[in-house]
Copies of this chain bind each other. A is one copy, B any other.
Amino acid sequence: MSQQVKIYDVAGAAGVSLATVSRVLNHPEKVKAETRERVLRIIKEKGYKPNANARGLASKRSTTVAIVIPSISRASVAEMIEGIYDSARKYGYTIRLFITKDEEDPRDAWSEVIASSVDGILFMNDETTDATYKEIAHTPVPVVFVNNISSSDEFGSISIDYEECAYQTTKEMIKRGNKKILFIDTIHKYSANELKAAGYERAMKEAGLEVDILYSTGNLNINQNDFKTYLDKKVPEVALAVRDSMAISFMNVATKKGIKVPEQLQVIGFQNTRYAVLSNPTLTCIAPSIYDIGSRAMSYLTEMMKDDQKKEEERDSYQKKAANIIVDYDVIWRESTK
């Protein structure tokens, strides 16, 4: 249980004051090259790492950002966090993780995040109500919405244009001669899913085709019943599902009923999880660059935090800069489509 090296130890060994050691770390350009080299060498030798708490307290900056997510088990969260993490490391930030539980008061959750004294917040949320906006309006550090377009111009966001990619994909399937196109959505209204549905509807209406949306829960057993009931009545030419799991489940139910995929029914998922390639047939997917969303969100947050260090008056600038950044997507054609 060895004692951690303190800045005093380094200063002593290098024959300088602790102020100089601190400067070497925080404003190296203000220190004479010769001194800097010497201090740096000692830092390395002794394995000195500044105490994060002391640093945070003195500088009012913690070089820590919070990731706030509703639940970590959602399919894409892991990849997004990985994107955030890699980007955060590049900028020297550390991650604090918060999972907001549905059953608890979001007010408490948010103030806990703030109290943890982070320099910025990456906020992933499937549905952002006005109440949420009010909640987070007084946050003393920059907030960036991840994978969820912010409808407020107070906060920036990084996301896929879900409306557009649903629109384009539906349109493509129409162009390929399909008319009966089903959209499978969650009962619960998530803002991303609402955008997907809107894009689908736009394409269908433009082509004069009938909009057909099947709502089901995320629960697999209920899904399967709903899907069976639906398929007893009719078989669409194409099914687009907001989640890969729903797409695969729909495909499995159809296959068991003797419906051939993709000959009679083509299926498309919206997430491109790793399991899209494990289904049989493999699943064609709209593939958002989830990793990129994470890493771009972090780098955007970094910019905002830089601005945040400036004085109050100048600060308005970044508020106005609040941008909704759109990240690319691909469509990966696999066996579930012709």
* In the complex with contacts A2-B140, A52-B116, A248-B77 CB distance below 8 A: no
CA distance A278 to B283 in the complex (A): 12
**Does A33 count as interface, using CB distance less than 8 angstroms?**
no
Give the residues in chain B near A85, CB-CB below 8 Å: 72, 97, 99
**Does A277 count as interface, using CB distance less than 8 angstroms?**
yes
CA distance A111 to B43 in the complex (A): 13
* In the complex with contacts A95-B97, A252-B278, A278-B245, A53-B49 CB distance below 8 A: no
- A52 & B138 in contact (Cβ 8 Å cutoff): no
**Does A57 count as interface, using CB distance less than 8 angstroms?**
yes
**Does A73 count as interface, using CB distance less than 8 angstroms?**
yes
- A115 & B275 in contact (Cβ 8 Å cutoff): no
**Does A307 count as interface, using CB distance less than 8 angstroms?**
no
Give the residues in chain B near A98, CB-CB below 8 Å: 94-95
- Nearest B residue to A99 via CB reads B85
**Does A96 count as interface, using CB distance less than 8 angstroms?**
yes
CA distance A67 to B97 in the complex (A): 10
- Nearest B residue to A116 via CB reads B52
- A57 & B51 in contact (Cβ 8 Å cutoff): yes
Contact with A1, one of B111, B115, B140, B275 (Cβ below 8 angstroms): B140
**Does A310 count as interface, using CB distance less than 8 angstroms?**
no
- B277 & A47 in contact (Cβ 8 Å cutoff): no
CA distance A245 to B112 in the complex (A): 38
**Does A249 count as interface, using CB distance less than 8 angstroms?**
yes
- Nearest B residue to A282 via CB reads B252
**Does A317 count as interface, using CB distance less than 8 angstroms?**
no
Give the residues in chain B near A280, CB-CB below 8 Å: 252, 255-256, 279-280
- A94 & B116 in contact (Cβ 8 Å cutoff): yes
Contact with A54, one of B50, B57, B82, B99 (Cβ below 8 angstroms): B57
- B78 & A82 in contact (Cβ 8 Å cutoff): no
**Does A79 count as interface, using CB distance less than 8 angstroms?**
yes
Known contacts A49-B111, A73-B82, A275-B275; 14 further A-B pairs (Cβ under 8 A): A2-B140, A4-B114, A47-B111, A52-B117, A53-B57, A57-B57, A67-B97, A72-B81, A73-B78, A81-B97, A94-B98, A95-B96, A95-B98, A220-B278
